Amino acid sequence: MFCTTMRCLRTLKRKEDELVCFCPVHDEKHYNKNAFCVNISKNNWHCLSCGAGGNIVDFVAAMDNVN
């Protein structure tokens, strides 16, 4: 998941045990800039603003707008 996420999200910044940035799943340019969190050790992600989250399969589906 880490490699796929890094290719898609060049703005990720390390914050303790997570990588954070704007959420690519929804438009949050005017909201919490660190809402999208990737937990490297657990190989999952979660957006604190829109509530989306999951594993790498869920991330790719969300990026491609697939249900």
Nearest 5°: phi and psi at 60? -65, -40
Give which of 59, 35, 64, 54 is closest to 18, Cα–Cα: 35
CATH architecture of structural domain 2-63: Alpha-Beta Complex (3.90)
Distance CA 8, CA 4 (A): 6
Whether the full predicted model's pTM is greater than 0.85, yes or no, is no
Domain boundaries, the chain: 2-63
Q: How far apart are CA 15 and CA 57, in angstroms?
A: 23
What the block records as the tokens of 63 is 């990026």
**Distance, CA of 13 to CA of 27 (rounded, Å):** 19
Q: What is the pLDDT along the chain (67 residues), one digit of tens a residue?
A: 555 555 666 778 888 888 888 888 776 665 567 888 999 899 999 988 889 999 989 988 887 776 6
